[in-house]
Structure formats: structure tokens, C-alpha cells
Amino acid sequence: MTELTPSNLTVLCVASFFKGNEFIRECRRAGARVVLLTREKLLGGEWARECLDGVEGVPGDGGEELYLEASASAARRHKIARVVALEEYDVVTAARIREHLCLPGMGTSAARLFQDKLAMRVGAREASLSAPEFVRLVDDDEIEDFMRRVAPPWMLKPRKGASAMGMRKLDDPVEVWRALEELDARAFPHERATHHLLEQFIPGAVYHVDSLVHEGRVVFAGVERYGTPPFSVAHGGGVSTSRTVERGSADERRLLAFNKKLLAAFRLERGATHAEFIKGEADGELYFLETAARVGGAYTAETIEAATGVNPWREWARIELATRERPYVPPTPREDYAGLAVSLARQKWPDTSAYDDSEIVYRARKPWHVGLLVRSPNYGRVAGLLESYARRFAHDFTAVAPPEETPGQYL
């Protein structure tokens, strides 16, 4: 049997949203072939086409069976050896493709731990990892018992989805039953109550840990803290900020240890991960919120690269292409600090020329958004700049839009 090397290896990239060009480019730099499987609506996107050997389109409302058919069609023309989900919504789909084509990598049962919020909470409980109390929305008696045992407020969350999309904060049982009734009246089965869970609300600071995993071992991890919890920004508007936590701090040490234990329990063999945790306001304890087997969105990769010099997309590609003859060598990160301030804007193309601090290393270029990324060897300088930008953005740019319920408009 021919030994796999980057030069004879084809990677099938699955992407329901436009992202992952750096992954694609790094595969090509290593000599691998890349085939993109995306939605027809995105075929005209600014993909790194010079690095693609094929593109397959799937209708916007196409289910997993159409993805399997399209992947089989691609496999007839290309010797696919790896299947990679570049986006949150494609993690289980990519696992099904691997199983369908009998390829190595994470299967559907393992993949659900990184996409289905109910499955990951059950997995965390079985691994004795601290997490908010929760209940599946299947048995009315279980729901009643949960609401008697766990004091409100509670969070109603879709089991599948990124960010705070579709989440609601509920204050009493009447609200809960009314919300479940509304969900069950929806036309699409995947939007109904059983595709959600109810969870204890724990106020506190929210952190995210972004990792690279090779041969079951965390080889890189960066820890950041959100200025305002994502749910509060999504539902109340305002400026979202995230910054590197202070290196060597107790928070960094605890979060790195928790993240390592989580990924070991979920048995991830290789790839990139984005996990979120909350530090309880009342008790100072850490609680697991969710994890995903992909690079974090909302400029997370850019922030990590600014602070450490490590680009998660490129490193993930190198991990996927590693062989015995060409093993993966983890990077040696820098130890600067970085932070991001980003917001919806009233202007289609906001003018940030008045923001001229030397620490600015990246300016977001996306219509109706404003964003600045800063880097400094000084933790206090990054924190101070983000606090200043949050105030100034609110005056100069920030717009508020209703929270999004589902990603349907993008698919």
C-alpha cells in the first residue's frame, strides 16, 4: 500500500459558512490537494481558489444525505484521505462522511460531543467535570423536577449552534412552558423543543480556551476572557471584547488544566478546539459551558496569532497532514498579549482612522461592523485600550440589532 504523504493526500474540506482559507492555503503549501464541499449559495465566495482542486456545491436546505452524495461524487474523482469540518455546523456531517467513505478520524458518536450541547453536558457529567445543572426537554416530569430543584433563572439553549444564537433566559416555570409550546409549534422538526435543553444560569466571567491537539495531546492552548458575556452582547447589544488573560495567573493555570481534562475525557485525537467556561460570580468555581472541534470564530484566530505568532488554521492543517516520515512539530509561541473590540456599526464601512494607537495590528473589514485588534507585551496596556475602545465605539459606531434565532438566513 502506498504510504500517505502530503503530495499524494487529498483533503475534503466541509464548510457551510465562508471560513478556513488559511487552512486550505496551508494544505496547498504542503503539497496536498484540497476539495471544497460547500453550499451553493457560497460558491461565489472569495475562496482560495488557486489552492483548490475541486469544488462541490450542496443546496442551501440540503440535509446530510446530500452531503454524503456530494462527497461520494468528489471521491470518485479524487483519492480523499482526510475529511475536515471548517465550521461548527459541519462537525457531525463530516463525521458521517468519514464513516460513509470508511476514512480515519472522528466518528459521529464522538463528533456529537463537540456539537450537541446536551451530549457534551452528559459527557462532562460522566467525566465528573463541573458544569451547570441541566435537563433534556423530553419528559415533562423531569422538567418539573429540574425547575423545583434548580433555582431560576434558567437558560433555554438549542442543542446545536454557535454563539448565543437561539438562546433565551427564562425566569419562571410559566415562561418555560410557554417557550416549549412555542417551539413545538414550529414547522421544522429540528427547531422544536426536544432539540433544546434547559440549563441553570450561572452569572460570572466567561472565558474561552483555544487548543491544538495532536495524537490525543494538547500541544498548544491560549486562554482569553470576554469583557461582557456573549449572551449579554447578543441580546442587549454593545461592544464585544476578548483579551488574553494574564500569563501565569491562577485563572490561566486553572483553565488550562480544566481544558486539558475536558479534551482527554472527550478523547479528541487531533484537530483544533474552542471551549468556553464560566467562573461563577458567587463561588469563584469554574464551570464547563461548551466546546467545539473547530477554530473559534469572530477573529479568534487573528487574536491568538497576534499574541503568540501561532495561526490555529495553519497549525491545524499541519496536524492533519502529519505522517510518520514527516511528523508534526508544535510551534514555539510568543508570549505577548492581544485583544479585540468588535461591534455592529451604524455605518456600512466605519472610518476608524481616528483610532491611531501603535498597538493596533488589524482592522476588521466587514460591512456594518467595526473591529480593532491590538497587541502589546504589556497586559495592562491591552486591557486599557479595549476599555477605551468599548466606550468610544458606543459613541462613534455601535448599532443594536435583534438577536438572531437561527442561522437559516445564511444557509
pLDDT digits (tens, 9 = 90+) for 174-207: 999 999 999 999 999 989 999 999 999 999 999 9
Q: Does 133 score more than 90 pLDDT?
A: yes
Q: How confident is the model at residue 404 (pLDDT cuts 50, 70, 90)?
A: low
What is the reported pLDDT for 410?
A: 47
Strand 240-244 with 217-226, pairing:
antiparallel
Per-residue pLDDT band for 305 (boundaries 50, 70, 90) equals very high
Q: Is the pLDDT of residue 405 over 70?
A: no
Tell me the CA distances in angstroms from 95 to 104, 108, 209, one per residue in order.
10, 5, 23
Residue 402: its pLDDT value, please?
A: 67
Between the alpha carbon of residue 304 and those of residues 219, 236, 299, the distances in Å are: 14, 27, 9
Residue 96 has pLDDT above 90, yes or no: yes
Strand ranges (DSSP E) for 108-181? 134-136, 154-158, 168-170
In eight-state DSSP terms, residue 405 is: -
Averaged pLDDT, 89-95: 93
Per-residue model confidence as pLDDT tens digits over 55-91: 988 887 767 888 999 999 999 988 899 999 999 889 9
Rounded to 5°, the CA angle 150-261-232 comes to 45
Please report the pLDDT score of residue 163 as a whole number. Answer: 65
Confidence (pLDDT) at 233: 84
Element (H, E) at 57: strand 54-58
| pLDDT at res. 5 | 61
Mean pLDDT of 36-44: 92
pTM: 0.92
Q: Take residue 207 and report the three cell numbers written for it.
A: 472565558
Domains of the chain in start order, with CATH, are 6-112 (3.40.50.20), 133-200 (3.30.1490.20), 204-410 (3.30.470.20)
Distance CA 358, CA 339 (A): 14
Mean pLDDT of the chain: 92
Q: With bands split at pLDDT 50, 70 and 90, how would you rate the model's confidence at 399?
A: confident
Identify the pLDDT of residue 2: 47
β-sheet bridge partners, residue 93: none
Task: Indicate the SS3 state at residue 142.
Answer: helix
Q: What is the pLDDT of residue 63?
A: 79
**Angle of CA points 90, 92, 94, to nearest 5°:** 65
**Could you report the per-residue pLDDT of 206-261, keeping only the tens digit for each?**
999 999 999 999 999 999 999 988 888 877 778 999 999 999 999 999 999 999 99
Nearest to 105 by CA among 245, 244, 11: 11
The answer on pLDDT for 403 being more than 70 is: no
Percent of the chain with pLDDT over 70: 94
Residues 317, 29: Cα–Cα separation, whole Å: 10
Instruction: Indicate the pLDDT class of residue 1, thresholds 50, 70 and 90.
Output: very low
pLDDT of residue 231: 81
The three cell numbers locating residue 265: 475525557
Share of the chain above pLDDT 90, in %: 81
